[in-house]
Structure 1
Amino acid sequence: MSSTENLALPTGYQLQDYEIRKVLSSGGFSFVYLARDKDKNTVAIKEYLPTSIALRTDSATVQPNADDVALFRRGLKCFFDEGLSLAKIDHKNIVRVLNFFRANETVYMVMQYERGKSLQEYILGQQGLVSEQFIRRVFGELSNGLREVHTQKLLHLDIKPANIYIRLDGSPVLLDFGSARQALSENLAKFSPSYTPGFASPEQYYDRKLLGPWSDIYSIGATMYSCLTRTSPPAANQRIKNDLLIPAVKLGKDHYSQSLLEIIDSCLSLDYLERPQSVFSLQKALLESKPLPEKKSSLVNKIVLALNKPILMKKTPLQKAAATHTTII
């Protein structure tokens, strides 16, 4: 069975107290399902299944390759430990783990199902610039949750726009903690690197002994930078060889306050000692400094904007459903 599509649990499968409804996402390390619990509540369930070293048998059991049993168990333990740690965190800005259990010779993590869109979708959906007020509010709130994560001795190590979710009420939530993925990817013979180029810190490439809260802070800086540019910054390993990153203070000087741009640049320092050393210090800087006042539009600009504004058509029920969806990676 080589196709990863055939490895997913089928619709209607009864997984202990949960009924599988559909696959939300799949990757090299896990599947995420939309499911329903015994009280008919909708949840998301993440299943540990590294497809390059394990397969699902006809009975739904996950079976590692004979040569990869030790590696599979190592990742499984990290996944289980991650679930234990996240289950202790009850914070509105961190994906809520409701339950985790063993079944089918693997581990499952049951998470709260969120409605909204990813920050990546939000950025790409903006016709103009992402406002400074939005950036400060979202990352100020997100810092509350990340502080709690670091208190639990956890690092995220894959913060990026796709892993930050904006709920319908505008509040952000951080998704996809991948400690099992991080552990397995150290075996580069079988796994590609688990970090995301442009958002991963230099120490994720070169010296993992230097990893710390400042590594997640680099990723926060890269994510804020992407709010300015609508794209990812250059990868850290390329920056070390030839740093072509245009500083935020230069890139956004006409649209954002100097203080915000300096915060972003400090987070993106290649030297981890030059970054904010804690999420608290980053959050304090975001909340203390004042944003640049929004420029008032002239009458001419208002008329131009009004003429260029698209006509809003009444949405059909199908369009409404498509406009609001949920993805947990």
Structure 2
Amino acid sequence: MSKVKPSPLPPDTMIGGYRIERKLSAGGFGVVYLALDSEGQQFAIKEYLPSSLASRAVGELLPQVLPEKLSLYRLGLKSFFEEGRSLAQISHGSVVSVLNFFRENETVYMVMNYLEGGTLQDFIITARDLKKPKVFRESTIRSLFDEILRGLRIVHQHKMLHLDIKPANIFITDDNRAVMIDFGAAREVLSKEGNFIRPMYTPGFAAPEMYRRDSSLGPWTDIYAIGACIYASMQGYPPNDAPQRIDKDRLSLALSRLRGVYSDNLIEVVQWCMALDPLARPQSVFALQKELSRESARRYTKLTVGERVRLQFDSVVSDTKKTARKANVMGTRFK
């Protein structure tokens, strides 16, 4: 099969009573379109179209799947459909609203509210480029993730996992709501089957157990990703990915440079969430919410003059190294 990505549906295509306006985004597992209903109301429609399993020529409607990949394609299709059914039962401001889902063109479509705004990743990049001591204020970080955790708790209560929480999948709407988008149920099902080797995780935000097929996933897996997102909101960059951390863990060193900038408690929360051992992390969203809301815990370590000089020196050396490999970093992370 060609490695050329499947072509999106052409503008003005009608599916399930909706008219496609344009493609909004595309990833390894699907395409998201802006679409209008018969009354002209805008919606986002996500189409199941895994690029490693299916192809589609320009102007065509039906995906083309090689016979030897058909069973895997259908397995992901079933998971995508079940994900839509489960999400449709959840009504929470911090969880993307699935309003409808249907089968057509030998695939499945998920109809969601169209959100206007930007992703947390967009905001991190903008804030980082301003080169301020803090990417975000601590109060902003706590408020944002308290909102996300309220939605994630509901998701877990419905026996679902997100499995791809990252700044690019946290959407900040123009009316100041934080919404989790792009759940990864189909991605996870496909990763467990046969020799399907396409990466199923986002480096830096995926917990160590997501790299092993024999590991048990649970709320602690999403909680690791939450910790990584908080880290990115503090540092402006993703943490090292799990395999790198297992080989040589620099998380504590990186966070130590933020002492005096962010409270000891917030730094400890990140370390707790991102423990390499799943059993050492918060085992439920409720446990994490309780710790994150502790107003009395916001102590700041008093750094000595020597410590400040050393950290400043380390920062200059680190910035020099970052500049040398900036093109590579920006090409692979936080594009």
* TM-score bucket of the superposed structures, by smaller chain: 0.7 to 0.9
Correspondence list, 1:16-95, <5 A: 16-56=16-56, 59-95=60-96
User: Partners of 2:6 and 2:48 in 1: how far apart?
Assistant: 15
Higher relative contact order (CA 8 A, sep 6+): 1
> Are residues 59 and 115 of structure 1, via their aligned partners in 2, closer, same or farther at CA, if it must alter by over 3 Å?
closer
What is the Cα deviation at residue 166 of structure 1? 0.9
Larger mean CA deviation between 77-86 and 248-257 belongs to: 248-257
Correspondence list, 1:195-214, <5 A: 195-214=201-220
Correspondence list, 1:1-329, <5 A: 2=2, 4=4, 7-56=7-56, 59-126=60-127, 127=130, 128=132, 129=134, 130-187=136-193, 189-247=195-253, 249-290=255-296, 292=298
Larger mean CA deviation between 18-27 and 247-256 belongs to: 247-256
Q: Give the count of matched residue pairs.
A: 294
Contact 1:248 1:262 (8 Å CA) reproduced: no
- Whichever residue aligns with residue 74 of structure 2, its letter is R
| Secondary structure, aligned partner of 2:80 | helix
User: Partners of 2:214 and 2:201 in 1: how far apart?
Assistant: 12
| Identical counterparts, % of pairs | 47
| Secondary structure, aligned partner of 1:263 | helix
| Secondary structure, aligned partner of 2:246 | helix
Task: State the Cα deviation string for residues 270-303 of structure 1 (Å, max 9, x = none).
Answer: 1111111100110111112347599xxxxxxxxx
Contact 1:20 1:34 (8 Å CA) reproduced: yes
| Secondary structure, aligned partner of 2:84 | helix
| Secondary structure, aligned partner of 1:209 | coil
User: Partners of 2:160 and 2:98 in 1: how far apart?
Assistant: 15
- Whichever residue aligns with residue 76 of structure 2, its letter is G
User: Partners of 1:165 and 1:120 in 2: how far apart?
Assistant: 9
Task: State the Cα deviation string for residues 4-42 of structure 1 (Å, max 9, x = none).
Answer: 566210011111210000011112211111111112111
- Whichever residue aligns with residue 203 of structure 2, its letter is P
Contact 2:6 2:54 (8 Å CA) reproduced: no
Contact 2:119 2:167 (8 Å CA) reproduced: yes
After TM superposition, the score normalised by the length of structure 2 is 0.83
| Secondary structure, aligned partner of 1:98 | strand
Larger mean CA deviation between 243-252 and 131-140 belongs to: 243-252
- Whichever residue aligns with residue 29 of structure 1, its letter is F
Gaps of 5+ in 2: 301-335
Structure 2 residue aligned with 1:320: none
- Whichever residue aligns with residue 68 of structure 1, its letter is K
> Are residues 226 and 55 of structure 1, via their aligned partners in 2, closer, same or farther at CA, if it must alter by over 3 Å?
same
User: Partners of 1:18 and 1:124 in 2: how far apart?
Assistant: 34
What is the Cα deviation at residue 186 of structure 1? 3.0
User: Partners of 1:175 and 1:293 in 2: how far apart?
Assistant: 33
| Secondary structure, aligned partner of 2:293 | helix
What is the Cα deviation at residue 62 of structure 1? 2.2
User: Partners of 2:122 and 2:287 in 1: how far apart?
Assistant: 28
Gaps of 5+ in 1: 295-329
User: Partners of 2:173 and 2:297 in 1: how far apart?
Assistant: 23
| Secondary structure, aligned partner of 2:179 | strand
User: Partners of 1:286 and 1:197 in 2: how far apart?
Assistant: 25
Task: State the Cα deviation string for residues 229-251 of structure 1 (Å, max 9, x = none).
Answer: 11110111111122122356513
- Whichever residue aligns with residue 244 of structure 1, its letter is R
Larger mean CA deviation between 27-36 and 181-190 belongs to: 181-190
User: Partners of 1:147 and 1:161 in 2: how far apart?
Assistant: 18
Task: State the Cα deviation string for residues 91-127 of structure 1 (Å, max 9, x = none).
Answer: 0000100100000011000011111111011111122
